[in-house]
Chains A and B, each alone.
Chain A
Amino acid sequence: MSAPEHRSGAEYTQRKVVRNDTPPPTRKPSSGASAQNLGFTARLIAWLGHHQLVAVETLLKLLAKPAASLLTWLVIAIALTLPGGLWMAVSNLEQLSGSVQQSGRMSVYLKPELSVTAATTLKQRIDQLPGVAKTSLVDADAALAQFRENTGLADVLDMLDGNPLPAVILVEPPLDLSRDALLALQQKLADLAGVESVELDLAWLERLNSLLALAQRIVLILGILLALAILLVVGNTIRLAIAARVDEIRVVKLVGGTNAYVRRPFLYTGLWYGMVGGVLSWILLIICWAVLHGPVAELASLYGSGFELQPLSASAALTLLLVGMGLGWFGAWWSVSRHLDEIEP
């Protein structure tokens, strides 16, 4: 990764920090003015002032020379976009599977010996059950007619004596019925006299759900790997920035700069790397959404679904940004704690 140029060293200068109105301490030269002699408030003001100054100056420095940091930004952006985009896709699919899950239509197969009147009575009983929105009876003859029409196996059917098909009652539960309630209803229907079996086709839904769980796991693994990649990239960039400023760090330590003081500009630099990377990643995801949104809606409409690809929500975008900043800061911290102690005057 390219190191940003750190030559002006302006982080350590303090020309424009908060004014301190307390009068300067007057003492004889031999009394040894040092930081301990500054009041707590003055030191707090100076500390906050230095944070503010370093934060602003490191950010301005990065933005002033975008070419130097572009590679690092893009690597962070791509490393965030991959798991971010997959996560967006998975949560969209989850939403889709949720809407499908709600239409748990059941086929209640009746015993062959049941008469049409008995079947009609049974249908009326089912109508009264809680958790049933709509039923329709397909008697054996109608079922045969449908089968003949749909399959083109009319000749085969003609060879059989009698109707092999049972009568069926199609049961539609209300849309908001949960999976557990559907299974309970299925059991209840199967227990009714005259019912041969009840078929509830949840199997493919369960397959989809376990696929989604797997996809989520893969996104998690990918996210962890790419987070490590971000740590390495930021860590390496900061390492080069430290190497470019060894002399300055040595002098700062020699005249009494604490480790925190030396670390501060590098930590802020890492934070800003992560932030810019997060913003770029968010923009990339918006572009991805814009490119995919149309074709997905078209595909869904071909399947008779009104499904639409949802863009990244504001909270998800904020999460992306915060994760980027956190990783940038942590990468810088990791690098600084490894390399800064080696630089002693």
Chain B
Amino acid sequence: MSMVRFEQVSKRYGAAGRDALNGVSFELDRGELAFLTGHSGAGKSTLLKLMMMMERPTRGQLFVDDQNLNKLRASQVPYHRRKVGVVFQNHQLLFDRSVYDNVALPLQIAGYSPVDCARRVRAALDSVGLLQLERRNPIELSGGEQQRVGIARAVVNKPPLLLADEPTGNLDPELSAEIMDLFVRFQQVGVTVLIATHDIALIERMGKRRLILDHGRMMGDTHVSA
């Protein structure tokens, strides 16, 4: 079964607004890594938001981990979000606490014991190469390091699906390549990854599947294997 399945999904903001997404259908297999590209305003963020249930579709159905998201009640949304790790361009870190506490947040919310929590946080920080910075405040870190803290937080409770919205948007090419390598490594251990980006040069070099959005429509889908 697929990890993500969109069936003729449309999303319109406001009653008279333009369709941000229009009849979008695609599938992502378990353990697949794909890029989502398109001009700004093409609907990349909307598509990710639908999967996070930050928005609900106007028409159509979407499934994540075989769960029809239209059928989830509002009270079930938090439990759905625990299955989806998400990385933002502006990383959404909290500057009132340490790197460790930022990464531990999803585990504390899910109710992990402190011992278990510490073990998983260290494993996540180690996987992004920031173990030595756990006591620091994220505000002291560089942009690339902050983004890696955001990735550690997204993967700390080992979600089956990892989404990233322009994760390299603020980074230079070298750091961007490092971040992308991280995503590939998560894919290699079985995580399904979908990355929205406009960094075409980087994507072409990596030779992964590309989903292309244009004005809310799915205009292209390339299955190229590396």
Contacts and interface: CB of A to CB of B under 8 A. Distances in A.
A16 B176 CA distance: 37
Nearest to B161: A32
B114 A33 contact: no
Given A13-B97, A24-B119, A257-B78, A35 B111 contact: yes
**Counting chain B CB atoms within 10 Å of each CB, which of A47, A256, A344 scores highest?**
A256
Contact of A34 (B52, B83, B186): B83
A286 B92 CA distance: 51
B140 interface: no
Given A254-B86, A255-B153, A12 B108 contact: yes
A13 B105 CA distance: 7
Interface in A248-280: 248, 250-259, 261
Interface string A10-33: 001111111110101001111111
B115 A20 contact: yes
A34 B160 CA distance: 10
A36 interface: yes
Range of interface residues on chain B? 35 or more
Contact of A14 (B108, B157, B189, B190): B108
A24 B92 CA distance: 28
B54 interface: yes
A43 interface: yes
**Counting chain A CB atoms within 10 Å of each CB, which of B104, B112, B157, B159 scores highest?**
B112
Given A13-B97, A33-B158, A257 B109 contact: yes
B14 to A, nearest CB: 16
Interface residues of A, number: 46
A29 B116 contact: no
Contact of A30 (B52, B115, B153, B189): B189
Given A24-B120, A33-B158, A42-B111, 13 more contacts: A12-B105, A17-B114, A19-B113, A29-B190, A34-B159, A35-B111, A247-B92, A248-B94, A254-B81, A256-B82, A259-B75, A259-B78, A261-B109
24 contacts: A9-B96, A12-B108, A13-B101, A13-B108, A19-B114, A24-B115, A24-B120, A29-B189, A30-B30, A32-B65, A32-B159, A34-B79, A34-B159, A38-B110, A250-B92, A254-B52, A254-B92, A255-B153, A256-B79, A256-B80, A256-B81, A257-B78, A258-B75, A259-B78
Interface of A: 7-9, 12-20, 22, 24, 27-36, 38, 42-43, 45-47, 50, 247-248, 250-259, 261, 344-345
